[in-house]
Structure formats: structure tokens, C-alpha cells
């Protein structure tokens, strides 16, 4: 059975969506199905390309990769608000032992990417998920001069609308592949 990986993200300018698309490419190349979802926006309009996430999406996914632009070193409030509505999933253990990862974008090199990635991991850990990063064996992490960290994929959008560079895209693809492989392994170990 094909692993279903939920790519849950918020993107206003398209930078985070570019990462989501590269992650989806990695999911597909590893034999998984990328379920692209977003959250309702407050104030800043989000990407209207993908459907709004539902509780059913959380329940039926085999893994989750979450992305947000950096806002003062933290995820956007729309994603935080979404997690505050997931108590029913948490009580039932709906995400326990599923792999998870995070990704972000910022407009500057020192825009708070690592703190954003770490803060996004907190609700995933509270939900009982197994957190995955990008290992240093991935050349894109070693060779980056912009985004990409062991905590998750990232993009430095120096000029609004700039494309991912090669190392940022490779790191995002690797993250999608890794979560998909781990989801398949965990599912086969616990049928």
C-alpha cells in the first residue's frame, strides 16, 4: 500500500509552496502519495491552490510534513491556530508513531529559520509523532550557501519570488523521500 504523506503548509508569497512542491516530488519519487493541504488564513491570504486540511487528513495520513514562513522566529499564527484545534486527534492518539518533519522559508539569511523549524516540531512531538530531519550525509546540507538545515528543509527568499537554489531543492526532495521511506517501514513493522 502506498504511504500517504500529508504536506501541510501555509504560503502567502509562494516561497514555502515551492518547498512543499519539492517535498512532494521527493514523496512521489520514494513511492508515496503527497496529500497537499493548507490552513485557513487570517489577515494574509494563503495559497488557494490546495484544499484546507481536515481532521480526516490527519487521521488517514501515514506521515506529515509541515511548512510555514518564518514570522519572528516562529510559525505563522494560522498554523498555530490549527494545531490548537486538534485536541480530539491528540486524545485518540491519531498521529502517534507516524513520522513527521518540518520546513520553512524566510526573506533573509538570519531570519529565524532554525527557531521556526524547532517551534513547529513541538506540536508534532506532543501528538506523539516521530520527528525526522535531514542527516549530514545529504550533500545538500553540507554544500548549502542559503537554506537547508538538519532540522528541516528551508529556503532563503532574498528577493520576494526567488526560486529555490539547487541545494535547497535537493534538501527538500530528500526530506520528502526520507519521511516516505520511514512511513513505509513503520507501517510494515506495525501492520
pLDDT digits (tens, 9 = 90+) for 71-124: 888 899 999 999 999 999 999 999 999 999 999 998 877 778 899 999 999 999
> What average pLDDT score do residues 19-46 get?
89
Give pLDDT, residue 46.
57
Give pLDDT, residue 44.
57
For residue 159, the 8-state DSSP code is: S
Count the domains in the chain: 1
Instruction: Tell me the C-alpha distance between 8 and 68, whole Å.
Output: 9
* Host domain of residue 100: 4-189
Instruction: Tell me the C-alpha distance between 90 and 106, whole Å.
Output: 30
Give pLDDT, residue 158.
75
Q: What are phi and psi of 146, to 5 degrees?
A: -145, -110
Q: What residues contact 56, with CB distance under 8 A and at least 6 apart?
A: none
Work out the angle between the directed axes of helices 166-189 and 15-29 (0-180°, nearest 10): 50
Instruction: Tell me the C-alpha distance between 111 and 33, whole Å.
Output: 32
Would you say 173 and 30 are in contact if contact means Cβ atoms under 8 Å apart?
no
CATH of the domain at 33: 3.40.50.360
> What average pLDDT score do residues 52-64 get?
95
pLDDT in tens, 143-190: 777 777 899 998 888 766 778 889 999 999 999 999 999 999 998 887
Amino acid at each position: 500500500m502506498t504511504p500517504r504523506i500529508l504536506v501541510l503548509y501555509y504560503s502567502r508569497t509562494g516561497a514555502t509552496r515551492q518547498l512543499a512542491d519539492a517535498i512532494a516530488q521527493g514523496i512521489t519519487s520514494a513511492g508515496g502519495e503527497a496529500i497537499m493541504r493548507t490552513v485557513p488564513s487570517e489577515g494574509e491570504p494563503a495559497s488557494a491552490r490546495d484544499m484546507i486540511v481536515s481532521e480526516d487528513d490527519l487521521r488517514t495520513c501515514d506521515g506529515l510534513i509541515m511548512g510555514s514562513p518564518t514570522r519572528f522566529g516562529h510559525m505563522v499564527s494560522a498554523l498555530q491556530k490549527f494545531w490548537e484545534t486538534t485536541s480530539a486527534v491528540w486524545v485518540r492518539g491519531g498521529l502517534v508513531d507516524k513520522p513527521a518533519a518540518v520546513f520553512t522559508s524566510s526573506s533573509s539569511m538570519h531570519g529565524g529559520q532554525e527557531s521556526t523549524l524547532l517551534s513547529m516540531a513541538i506540536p508534532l512531538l506532543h501528538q506523539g509523532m516521530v520527528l525526522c530531519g535531514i542527516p549530514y550525509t545529504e550533500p545538500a546540507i553540507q554544500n548549502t550557501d542559503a537554506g537547508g538545515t538538519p532540522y528541516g528543509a528551508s529556503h532563503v527568499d532574498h528577493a520576494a519570488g526567488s526560486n529555490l537554489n539547487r541545494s535547497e531543492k535537493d534538501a527538500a526532495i530528500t526530506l520528502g523521500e526520507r519521511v516516505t521511506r520511514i512511513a513505509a517501514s513503520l507501517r510494515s513493522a506495525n501492520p
